[in-house]
Amino acid sequence: MAEILKGKPVADAIKEDLIAKIAEYKEKGIVAKVAILRVGARPDDLSYETRVLKNCDAIGMESQVVALPEDCTQEEYLAAMKSLNDDPLVHGILAFRPLPKQIDASAAADAIAPEKDIDCMNPKTVSKLFFDDMSGNAPCTPEACIAILKHYGYDLKGKNVVIVNRSMVLGRPLSMLFLHEHSTVTVCHSRTKDLPSVTRNADIVVTGIGRARFFGPEYFSEKNTVIDVGINAKPEGDGICGDADFDKAEPIVSAITPVPGGVGTVTSMILLRHVVDGIARL
């Protein structure tokens, strides 16, 4: 039986810490505030926004939503970003992506002030990570993976970590975070040969390919701690599931995160932690 590495206790610990820090700042007359910059009204964005706003309420953080029409121009978008960058009362900006095609994604990424870039969007924030400079914000999901492992007492030094994903939102930044922790990292992808033999031999396996229950028992061994980042619609209907076939992996591995209730639960608290961390940077 594997240890189930639930996200809620991790998120709750971060939440408690944030509540205390926000209260301390309030006593000094600083009110922590996040701004969301949204274009149009994609259902995914709206549901993410609702979750972020609810979490803000729960920890006493102020929030502001700037919603631009779907057909706004690049100039309008960049002007909205600039006004949030320049607003001393805003400590972090979450800019939803993807953007409509009339807005150049890299111009948008360049436009966010690095010190308010809570989701590691600006290439300057990204490059800090690759220079092992941890003074900026890492992307929230990779940071959530590390936060879970640390919360449950894992010493990452010297551990063999296999990450199945090489994207810029997950695998690449996460590999830098693990290297910072002195882990030995292997990054796998769709061209990796004999993936099951690579994952089976790892101490820690991070699955993030976006395919429901792709990782069956042949990918796992009793050595593995599995961090499942995948979020997939259940093939049989209602609800979500991970990339690991939880029911078949759980009797084999030593520990595993559930989906739902694992990495995603922690990711949203990390985002708000970045806002509070940002106060000290401004």
Which residues would be at the binding site for ligand NAP (CB under 6 A)?
A: 141, 164-167, 169-171, 188-192, 195, 208-210, 229-232, 263-264, 267
Taking the least distance from each CB to ligand NAP, the nearer of 5 and 170 is 170
Taking the least distance from each CB to ligand NAP, the nearer of 94 and 113 is 94
Cα separation, 204 vs 139, in Å, equals: 20
Min dist CB 124 to ligand NAP, Å, is 21
Min dist CB 111 to ligand NAP, Å, is 22
List Cβ neighbours of 80 (8 Å cut-off, separation of 6 or more). 37, 66, 68
Q: Of 36, 41, 27, 80, which is closest to residue 56 (Cα–Cα)?
A: 36
User: Max alpha carbon distance in the chain (Å)?
Assistant: 57
Specify which residues 38 forms β-bridges with.
67
Min dist CB 73 to ligand NAP, Å, is 27
Taking the least distance from each CB to ligand NAP, the nearer of 26 and 189 is 189
Task: Decide: 264 and 7 in contact? Cβ < 8 Å.
Answer: yes
Min dist CB 219 to ligand NAP, Å, is 10
Min dist CB 225 to ligand NAP, Å, is 16
Q: Report whether the peptide linkage leading into residue 260 is cis, meaning its omega lies within 30 degrees of zero.
A: yes
Taking the least distance from each CB to ligand NAP, the nearer of 187 and 279 is 187
Cα separation, 275 vs 272, in Å, equals: 5
Taking the least distance from each CB to ligand NAP, the nearer of 33 and 274 is 274
Alpha helices by DSSP H, the chain: 7-27, 43-59, 74-86, 105-111, 123-130, 140-151, 171-180, 195-200, 246-249, 263-281
User: What CA–CA distances, in Å, run from 220 to 150, 188, 199, 245, 247?
Assistant: 22, 15, 7, 10, 12
Min dist CB 281 to ligand NAP, Å, is 24
Min dist CB 14 to ligand NAP, Å, is 14
Q: What angle do CA 209, 212, 218 make, to 5 degrees?
A: 80
Taking the least distance from each CB to ligand NAP, the nearer of 33 and 38 is 38
Taking the least distance from each CB to ligand NAP, the nearer of 18 and 113 is 18
Q: How many residues does the chain have?
A: 282
Q: Report whether the peptide linkage leading into residue 98 is cis, meaning its omega lies within 30 degrees of zero.
A: yes
Taking the least distance from each CB to ligand NAP, the nearer of 18 and 229 is 229
Min dist CB 98 to ligand NAP, Å, is 11
Cα separation, 266 vs 13, in Å, equals: 10
